[in-house]
Structure 1
Amino acid sequence: MDSSNSTSANLHVAILSSPGMGHLIPVVLLSNRLATHHCVTVTVLRVTTTVSPPESNLLKIPLHPLVNILELPPADISHLVDSSAKIVTQLCLMVRVSLPSIRSAMTNRRPHALFVDLFSTEALPIAAEFNIPNYVYVPSNAWFTALLAYSPILHQQFSEEYVNQTDPIRIPGCKPVRPEDLVDPMLDQKDQQYDEYLKIGENIPSSDGILINSWVDLEPETLQAFAENRSVINILVYPVGPLVRESKPDHRSSELVQWLDRQPDESVVLASFGSGGVLPQKQMTELAWGLELSRQRFVWVVRRPTGGPVDNAFLRVTNGGEGEDSKPDYLPEGFLTRTKDVGFLVSNWAPQAEILSHPAVGGFVSHCGWNSTLESIASGVPLIAWPLYAEQRMNAALLAEEVGVALRPRALATSEVVGREEIEAMVKALMEGEEGGRLREKAKQLKKSGAESLKHGGPSYISMCDLLAKIASINNVIS
């Protein structure tokens, strides 16, 4: 054990996670990283909901022995909002009503530092009560972090709705953001979730630093802007990524894996829209026809369409398995028969990291959630960027225009139906075309770069060591 880890071995940190599998997964990945590579003891304080079972039961990620998940009492916000409340409003209110439980949990065992996730910044002052440092963990990229931290200044600059702007929204030193690519909470300033989002941006500077799930080679210009232009973020930023689920196969006998084993290398495209995303019926029909017309092999993780918002499943995610709903009636008539030799359908949930790492997989139609994005890059697989909600439009723009690992539909999938002809053309271009080859090569370069960044002595490893050394110094922890 090196000297930095000998000090870290005496540290205990608490990490607060808001509801939703998309939030719990990166928190657990960070926790396992701290425990496995820095010998830190971690208590995950998990805000739970009244509408779903404890998500830790669905996690499917082995926990390091030094990591413990403490499920807080379910947060009931039914008296505060109605069913029309947007997801950011719900998340922030759930954390707000859970503050007494968070404080109580920390009283039982005082940690050396408190980390909070993106929607839990209202808990930052609790750290001061215990005289410990606090940090915000943004399990996304640096560009999104820049927009979030700069949002209070943008709020003062713009008197009209952002969506009415014709020019890109400028952030000093960073790639401008087109109005149509802005995060969901910024699209309607009259909605409560805009106020909640703004509070997050206002709370961030009160922390002692920000951890982001990115690395230097992925976003060099934005990270340089953080260091050189304090008008965007005036506290230290620690890139600690890419933190992704390990892709070691745990069920080689499954029908899906056996099917993949029979396919040529890099011949299969995976289509999946995350643990919380749903497609409208009309779009699902067009996607089915596009996949069929492309004549490419595919694995499609299907979820029954609903008439609600695209993030409708976010807080009600289930861990469906292969074979469930095996004859979905929402797909075009005859689709299953016509594609039986080239396609494989999985209902609701699939072991995504394992699929992406399989040699047969050469492309990914993705909603561009950051967890999924990093899993794709970590497997060297390029994407078709199909954003649905949250910050996914920004992620898609980043991947297609700056990082260079993705194709993107001409129209926004959130506002228009992407037709079967365009889907067919994109899938063919990704899997067979020269441009797809270039994207695949860049993805493989970043796969190697990300792995090097996490190794002992790599930039993300050093960044984490610097952070832990600061925490140890503040707490007078010595080896």
Structure 2
Amino acid sequence: MESQPHVALISSPGMGHLFPSLELATRLSMRHHLSVTVFIVPSRSSSAEYKVIAAAQAAGLFTVIELPPADMSDVTDSTVVGRLSITMRRHVPALRSAVSALTSLPSVLIADIFATESFAVADEFHMAKYVFVASNAWFFALTIYVPVLDKQINGQYVDQKEPFHIPGCEPVRPCDVMDPLLDRTEPQYFEYVRIGTEIPSSDGVLVNTWDDLEGRTLASFRDWNLLGRIMKSPVYSIGPIVRQTGGKKGGASELFNWLSKQPGESVIYVSFGSGGTLSSEQMTEVAHGLEMSGQRFVWVVRAPKVRSDATFFTTGDGTEDQSEAKFLPDGFLERTSEVGFVVSMWADQTAVLGSPAVGGFFTHGGWNSALEGITNGVPMVVWPLYAEQRMNATMLAEEVRVAVRPKELPTKAVIGREEIAAMVRKIMAEEDEEGKAIRAKAKELQRSAEKSTAEGGSSFENFARVVKLWRENRV
């Protein structure tokens, strides 16, 4: 006899974790008619985050419970992975209390990768334990293989001369490793090794990718001679899971009115994510590069910061002085007023990318943004700043071939205006042959993504398969 499972999700702070978790909950509720409870640990630093949470609560598709804040006053670790790990660890008692207070106990707990210590709560309440990887399978492969590399590699990863070989996957170049691997002496490195060790104890993993995109990597998890000996539980590709457009609302109407007057696929959208910022010098070069390219653009401008990840926990509430002229070169706004539209702090990215006028995406390459570009068939300029974005940029530009990237890492050097202009023209200009191939591949991948999540597609079937296991009370 099949039972109707009650599924609980726990999401880490930050828009990059919150959006995919809420979209996953939406699909579990709407497509599979499951009862879903989402436990959220808000960053409490962004009005945009509160609006997203409020919208999810108002939609009524699932229950949203904000866990009470844990005391973080003594935490000095400012690294993203370190602080996220400590935050989620300190919220385990609150999660335990919240679960015990539910009238219907969940039978499945889905944790994002920073919440694996919540498995202890799942065990206490006899819940199946799953991990939701909001990034790609290559990133996930490196994550679970890091405990092996930790024993194999001497010295710093970035100082190694040869790429790191992961069984059945593309090698990872030392310069592309994610942030927690940049310094093995930092606490966030040890947190990451712990995460890589804990994930295989789950009953299964849901990854935000699809078979056509990463078939070789996904196959490595099923092969005992490759990653299957580490990740013994099944890995399900269920993506792409991307947020749905919020529509043309509020203050954004002026932007969408402007877009509606532009020729088809003539505009490049420039945004470095909710946690991505540029130095003043680099912002000046981007401005001049956009102007030199001669292409129409929409640019979401944020105040320059010293560190590229400085806004991860403070995504802004729009109350700061965000006068564009304060950060941009003298006369830039006037000179580009006919071809450009500058937005302060935030724009509805999914709606912008879905506009018929948009034909390119200048992005930090976070996986959520990369998927939003792919699912809209938009070629990209990838500009990696932090986290796993260097790996994403390599994958998108060199393996998938839907993007171009700078010759040097933006975190290592200031990228000049001439190179920026050339990258923009390459993906936007009709006469560029390499760009033409990139644009065609973007459209091809868009069709592949649509097919994967449609009925009968690989991700659709994988999703149905795991839900069937939950209904049968099998893990």
Q: What TM-score, normalized to structure 2?
A: 0.94
Q: Does the alignment pair 1:442 with 2:441?
A: yes
Corresponding residue number in structure 2 for 1:57? 51
**Aligned-pair CA distance for 1:99:** 0.7
Where does residue 126 of structure 1 map in the other structure? 121
Distance 1:50 1:348, change over 3 A: closer
State the match for 1:3 in structure 2.
none
Deviations 1:188-245 (A, max 9, x none): 0000000111110010011111111000011111111121221353221011100112
Distance 1:250 1:286 in 2: 30
Distance 2:230 2:110 in 1: 21
Once the two structures are TM-superposed, the CA of residue 77 in structure 1 deviates from its matched residue by 1.5
How far residue 60 of structure 1 moved from its aligned partner, in angstroms, is: 7.9
Instruction: Report the equivalent of 1:34.
Output: 28
Within the alignment, does 1:392 sit opposite 2:389 as a pair? yes
Aligned partners of 1:167 and 1:178 also within 8 Å: yes
Contact 1:165-1:179 at 8 Å conserved across structures: yes
**Match of 1:316, SS?**
coil
Shift of the alpha carbon at 1:324? 7.8
Q: Is structure 2 residue 92 aligned with structure 1 residue 99?
A: yes
- Paired with 1:181 and 1:222, the residues of 2 have a C-alpha distance of 17
Distance 1:58 1:328, change over 3 A: farther
Q: 1:36 corresponds to which letter in structure 2?
A: M
Question: Residue 212 of structure 1 contacts residue 237 of structure 1 at CA under 8 Å; is this kept in 2?
Answer: yes
Q: 66-75 or 91-100, which moves further after superposition?
A: 66-75
- Assess if the C-alpha contact under 8 Å between 2:48 and 2:317 holds in 1: no
- 1:247 match: 245
Contact 2:45/2:316 (<8 A) preserved: no
The separation in 1 between residues aligned to 2:184 and 2:215, in whole angstroms, is: 31
What do residues 375-429 of structure 1 show as CA deviations (whole Å, max 9, x unaligned)?
A: 1101000100101100000000010111110001100011111110100111111
Match of 2:406 in 1: 409
Distance 1:131 1:57 in 2: 33
CA shift for structure 1 position 249: 2.8
1:429 — aligned with what? 426
Aligned to 2:285: 286
The answer to whether the 8 Å contact 2:324/2:344 transfers is no
The CA deviation at 1:327 is 3.7
Which runs of no fewer than 5 residues in structure 1 stay unpaired?
1-5
Q: SS of 1:177's equivalent? A: coil
Q: Mean alpha-carbon deviation: is it higher for 228-237 or for 379-388?
A: 228-237
Q: CA deviation at 1:275?
A: 0.8
Change (3 A) 1:97 1:181: same
Within 5 Å, give how 1:287-306 maps onto structure 2: 287-306=286-305
Listed one character per residue, the Cα deviations across residues 146-172 of structure 1 (whole Å, up to 9, x for unaligned) are 000111001011121101101101100
1:15-36 per-residue CA deviation (whole Å, 9 max, x = no partner) reads 0001111110010010001111
2:267 and 2:107 mapped to 1: Cα distance? 47
SS in structure 2 opposite 1:219? Answer: helix
What amino acid maps onto 1:334 in structure 2? Answer: G
Q: How many residues align?
A: 466
Q: Is the 8 A contact 1:146 1:232 kept in 2?
A: no
Question: Does 2:14 match 1:20?
Answer: yes
Distance 2:301 2:259 in 1: 17
Cα 1:54–1:258 change in 2 (3 A) is closer
Q: Secondary structure at the match of 2:472?
A: helix
Residue 336 of structure 1 aligns with an amino acid whose one-letter code is: L
Give the secondary-structure state (helix, strand or coil) at the position aligned to 1:315. Answer: coil
Shift of 1:246: 1.8
Q: Is the 8 A contact 1:275 1:317 kept in 2?
A: yes
SS for the counterpart of 2:305 is coil
The residue that corresponds to 2:262 in the other structure is 263
**Residues 295-352 of structure 1: CA deviation (Å, up to 9, x unaligned):** 1000000001022x2111111113549x983443111111111111111000000000
Q: Secondary structure at the match of 1:136?
A: strand
CA distance in 2, matches of 1:50, 1:191: 26
Are 1:89 and 1:196, in contact at CA under 8 Å, matched by a contact in 2?
Answer: yes
* 1:337 match: 334
Q: Which moved more, 1:341-350 or 1:121-130?
A: 121-130
Scaled by the length of structure 1, the TM-score of the pair is 0.93
Question: C-alpha displacement at 1:75, in angstroms?
Answer: 2.5
1:53 shift after superposition: 5.8
Change (3 A) 1:232 1:284: farther
Q: Deviations over 1:24-62 (max 9, x none)?
A: 001001000111110011111111346556934245865
Q: Does residue 217 in structure 1 map to residue 212 in structure 2? A: yes
CA distance in 1, matches of 2:210, 2:87: 31
Superposition pairs for residues 2-17 of structure 1, below 5 Å?
10-17=4-11
Q: Check 1:7–1:439 CA distance in 2 against 1; reply closer, same or farther (3 A cut).
A: farther
Q: Helix, strand or coil: the match of 2:365?
A: coil
- Runs of at least 4 residues off by over 6 Å: none
How many Å separate the matches in 1 of 2:53 and 2:317? 9
Deviation at 1:475, TM superposition (A): 6.6
Q: Are residues 189 and 293 of structure 1, via their aligned partners in 2, closer, same or farther at CA, if it must alter by over 3 Å? A: same
Alpha carbons 2:56, 2:64 under 8 Å: kept: no
- Structure 1 residue aligned with 2:374: 377
Q: Between 222-231 and 197-206, report the one with greater CA deviation.
A: 222-231
Percentage of identical aligned residues: 48
Match of 1:238 among 226, 236, 239: 236
